[in-house]
Amino acid sequence: HQLWIASNGSKGTRCDLQNEDLSHIDLSNSNLNGANLRGAVLYGAKLRGVQLVMADLSGATLIEADLTK
């Protein structure tokens, strides 16, 4: 995904976590810009400092997720 971001999508692959159960995962400070998180379950996930510019969170579950800076 980092190569995909750095090359403006011409190299690498976009992060695709559609419908994945990511409950309680620690993704703190990750760069998920442009990622596909449609329908992902992020219940109680640690998302502190995560970059989500242009990420697709349609239908994602963010209950009790930590989105603090």
Residues 7-55 pLDDT 10s: 999 999 999 999 999 999 999 999 999 999 999 999 999 999 999 999 9
* pLDDT for the residue numbered 69: 82
H or E segment at 35? none
Q: Partners of 56 in the beta sheet?
A: 36
Average pLDDT over residues 1-5: 94
* Distance in angstroms (rounded) separating the CA atoms of residues 53 and 56: 9
Q: How far is CA 42 from CA 5, 6, 26, in A?
A: 22, 25, 10
* Distance in angstroms (rounded) separating the CA atoms of residues 6 and 67: 24
Average pLDDT over residues 52-69: 96
* pLDDT for the residue numbered 56: 98
